[in-house]
Every structure is written in C-alpha cells, then in structure tokens.
Amino acid sequence: MSKLRLDEVNQQNNEIFLHRKKTGEPVWTVVPQFVVDALYSFKPDSPEYFFWSGEGKLHTRTSKWGERLQKLYVHAGVRVTEQHKVRRSGGKLKEASENVLVSAVTPHWWRHTFVRDLYLQDKSVSLIADLLGDEEETVKTYYSSFDELRKKKLKAEVEAVWANDALTQDLCGQSPHS
C-alpha cells in the first residue's frame, strides 16, 4: 500500500486492486467512500503514485510511513509501553539511550483487527481467507488469536445456553419452574 498507484483505485466503485507484496498475487478490496475521497483530497506524490515519488528507494518511504504511524499510535495511547533505547535524530543515532514511548502496533495489525472483527460477526474462515487473499490454513494459523473481545462474545454464547437449560437454572436457584 505504501506505493499505491493511482490506477489501482477505482473511484466509481470504491475498489482497490493491487498485488500482494510477498507473492505478487492480485488482491482486490472495497473500501468506504470516505477512504477514496481522502485519497483524492490531496495532491499525490507523483503522477503515478499516491504515496511515493517514484524516485529513491521504496523501502525508505515505507519505513517513514511506519514511523509516522508509530507516532500516531503513541499519541493515541494505543498499546503503549516505555522502552529504554537509542533514538535517531536527523537520521543519526544519538550517543546516549533514553526512555521513549513505543506502541506495539504495526500497520499489519489493521489486518488482524479486520479478521478479528469478521470472526466476531461469525464470518466463516473460508470467507475471511477470500477477503484477505490467503489460504484458510493461513487464516487459522496466524489470524485466530483469542482476544478479550472474542472471549466476551463466546462467554455470552455459553451463558445464553445456560439461561435456556432447566437443569443449570435449577442448580443456580433460578429455575423458571420454581
């Protein structure tokens, strides 16, 4: 996404069509209208790309984008911890280390959040894999971590079963038959 080409965004259908970085496989997604509007609300870096001039190393641009997102996450207080490390200033490492705030979040976490939200809506692993452009086994292996939101939802499901079970209700002293 860091070098998103102008011709990869379809304004009329709110679609983005690009190729996966790792495999080169084509990937398609639909995005909300406000995302497309935001992309076209500023002057792109070049006639070909939204976020890259086409000059210099793309890796440098990607790193800068990640650093800016890191600052945003820290500012928003998202999964922030304090670490003791050597920082850069003007592209050069400082001599002494210092305590800095760092977020555990990376741009790839958006993908994990998307998958978690689909799981919470009871979407199938097959559908999730299709949406990600991945295999079902990859989704099961890397995107099915058990977090607090899923735990809360599953707990509510179990409690709903108990609420309709006469024996459980009787043993809890809440039997509708009492």
Residue 73: Cβ-neighbour burial (10 angstroms; 0-12, 13-18, 19+): buried
Domain that holds residue 1: 1-55
Higher-scoring residue by pLDDT: 141, 24: 141
Is it the case that residue 162 has pLDDT exceeding 80?
yes
Does the pLDDT value for residue 82 go beyond 70? yes
pLDDT at 101 over 60: yes
Helices (H), the chain: 33-40, 58-76, 109-120, 125-132, 136-142, 148-163, 166-171
CA distances from 134 to 2, 46, 118, 127, 143 (A): 20, 31, 15, 10, 11
8 domain residue, yes or no: yes
Looking at residue 176, its pLDDT comes to: 55
What's the pLDDT band for 57 if we cut at 50, 70, 90?
confident
Is the per-residue pLDDT at 127 higher than 90? Answer: yes
pLDDT exceeds 60 at position 146: yes
- The pLDDT-based confidence of 174 (bands split at 50, 70, 90) is low
Q: What is the number of domains present in the chain? A: 3
CA of residue 26 relative to chain centroid, distance = 19
Tell me: pLDDT of 152 over 90: no
Which pair of tokens denotes residue 120? Answer: 């919470």
pLDDT confidence bin for 109, thresholds 50/70/90: confident
pLDDT score of 23 more than 70: yes
Answer yes or no: do 140 and 118 share one domain: yes
Name the DSSP letter for residue 123: -
User: Does the residue 177 lie in any domain?
Assistant: no
Q: Is the pTM of this model over 0.75?
A: no
Determine, yes or no, domain membership for 178: no
Residues 125 and 145 in one domain: yes
CA-closest candidate to residue 68, choices 107, 20, 111, 21? 107
The answer, yes or no, to whether residue 156 has pLDDT greater than 80, is: yes
Q: Is the pLDDT of residue 86 over 90?
A: no
Does some domain include residue 134? Answer: yes
Give the pairing type, strands 80-85 and 98-103: antiparallel
Residues 116 and 159 in one domain: yes
Position 137 scores a pLDDT of 92
61: in domain: no
Is residue 118 one of the residues assigned to a domain? yes
> For residues 60 and 158, which has the higher predicted lDDT (pLDDT)?
158
The residue-averaged pLDDT of 87-106 equals: 84
Position 97 in a domain: yes
Residue 4's pLDDT is what? 84
* Residues in Cβ contact with 109 at an 8 Å cutoff, skipping those fewer than 6 apart: none
The stretch 125-130 carries a mean pLDDT of 90
Same domain, 11 and 37: yes
50 in a structural domain: yes
